[in-house]
Structure 1
């Protein structure tokens, strides 16, 4: 079972919360339809406690929620080197749906920063190429603080935050190693690496998915640049995807819920409703 190999959390509400077809709207539960299963893909270095704050938005409205964050070393090193180790994790994540027998539920992804996007990229590819997963029904995706293109300074800031509790010498060594890998793979050796590995940002620009997308970002973000998110929005609109984007203007990277809790929650809930009812 995939559940034995992933460090994930799943929250399953009471069945009475799941099916509100014939029940009035009360206590924050949604009436008239079955709620989606929400998959949260965390940012690099975030904890389950961090994701639980976002999980609560959906769980209290009757949604099953799965929370998962890919290991930071895979995000910053394996993926940068073009090693598709995240693809294995993406497959195990989708297999959880079959383990819990919820594969027929509508799916909503809530993806954080580039770490979440890197994993989501492989989820998309599996949905399109693997027979077992092609019948899964995704109804929408929310992107929080991403996706961003090759921003070395921002990536170094993110990695430094992940390594904050480690010894200074080790932090400097890992930061230097990551910078070297990034310069080589995405700079000097870019023409060669492009032959066997497509950058996740470029892959998402032309993704075949057509379900609605919501982009939550900020021009104050120093890790993922606002212009990268806006370029992605323009590209997805050009592919006739139903897209909405919100610039929080002043909030930092993955801090929009903290700074604007009511507004952020309303955006997520309204988007979820529109995806399910639309």
Structure 2
């Protein structure tokens, strides 16, 4: 495992042991993938806003237990909300990281956590358009995402602070007011200098995304941060433009807590999705 820090983001690359036995682990029993060992999937994970690596690693270990290579990306909260112009060079650097790994012949799956991970993917996908290499992205997993940010910003900020109820509310209100002031200042600056306005609205941009690979959604009707109605609206919209969609909907799990609370079914839904996508690729060869 290799950990790297860059201005505004950090990333961790985990390469499986070529001699390791990944045929079985305690979370997925004896699930087996029908793929060539030399072409194992690579998983790119984008963390939620306020995420730290040791928490995102919990999710990458799902894939590492099967011998998959993983790359975990985490963008600083400052670059997501306060210095939003940073996300463009950050996403370009992320693409270069993938290019340098020379994994173009392996199928790639992307795992986004919450709106923060969806926002990173939004700009990563845009940066990929300028790459000289063709990425073999075969599927995408949304965990607790996406949603309209206007309906979830307060709840998300309160969850990031993770203190007492009233302290969270005060800090969330202050932070949202600060974001509004900075956004307004940025808007004026963008008008004066004629720069593009970057908004934290991943759902708005991903609704019409041109990539049409299959997408898997894991969400909950008990999520207090991301309304399930937003996720289902997004799902139906993607279906309407021809994207193949699968879902795993819970009724009692919390935001970005589906895996800790439902490890077996969460893992199975992901592995079934990846297996199906690999079958689709094999049928097209």
Distance 1:246 1:97, change over 3 A: same
Report if the CA contact (8 A) 2:111-2:142 is conserved: yes
Shift of 1:205: 0.5
Hey, what does 1:10 align to over in structure 2? 13
**Cα deviations by residue, 1:3-61 (Å, 9 ceiling, x for unpaired):** 5625211110123569xxxxxx9336635322211011111122212112211111121
Distance 1:56 1:74, change over 3 A: same
Alignment of 1:1-278 (within 5 A): 5=6, 6-16=9-19, 26-27=23-24, 30-33=33-36, 34-78=39-83, 83-127=84-128, 129-133=129-133, 135-152=134-151, 154-164=152-162, 172=170, 175-179=173-177, 181-182=179-180, 196-197=197-198, 199-278=201-280
Which consecutive unaligned segments of at least 5 residues does structure 2 have? 25-29, 281-285
More strand by share: 2
SS at structure 1 position matched to 2:10: coil
Tell me the number of residue pairs that the alignment of Structure 1 and Structure 2 aligns.
258
TM-score, normalization by structure 1:
0.81
SS at structure 2 position matched to 1:74: helix
Which consecutive unaligned segments of at least 5 residues does structure 1 have? 19-24
**Cα deviations by residue, 1:157-178 (Å, 9 ceiling, x for unpaired):** 2222323479x99994674242
Q: Distance in 2 between matches of 1:124 and 1:222?
A: 28
Q: Distance in 2 between matches of 1:59 and 1:274?
A: 19
TM-score, normalization by structure 2:
0.80
Report if the CA contact (8 A) 2:138-2:277 is conserved: yes
Q: Distance in 2 between matches of 1:119 and 1:241?
A: 21
Q: Distance in 2 between matches of 1:238 and 1:182?
A: 34
Q: Pairwise CA RMSD of aligned residues?
A: 3.0
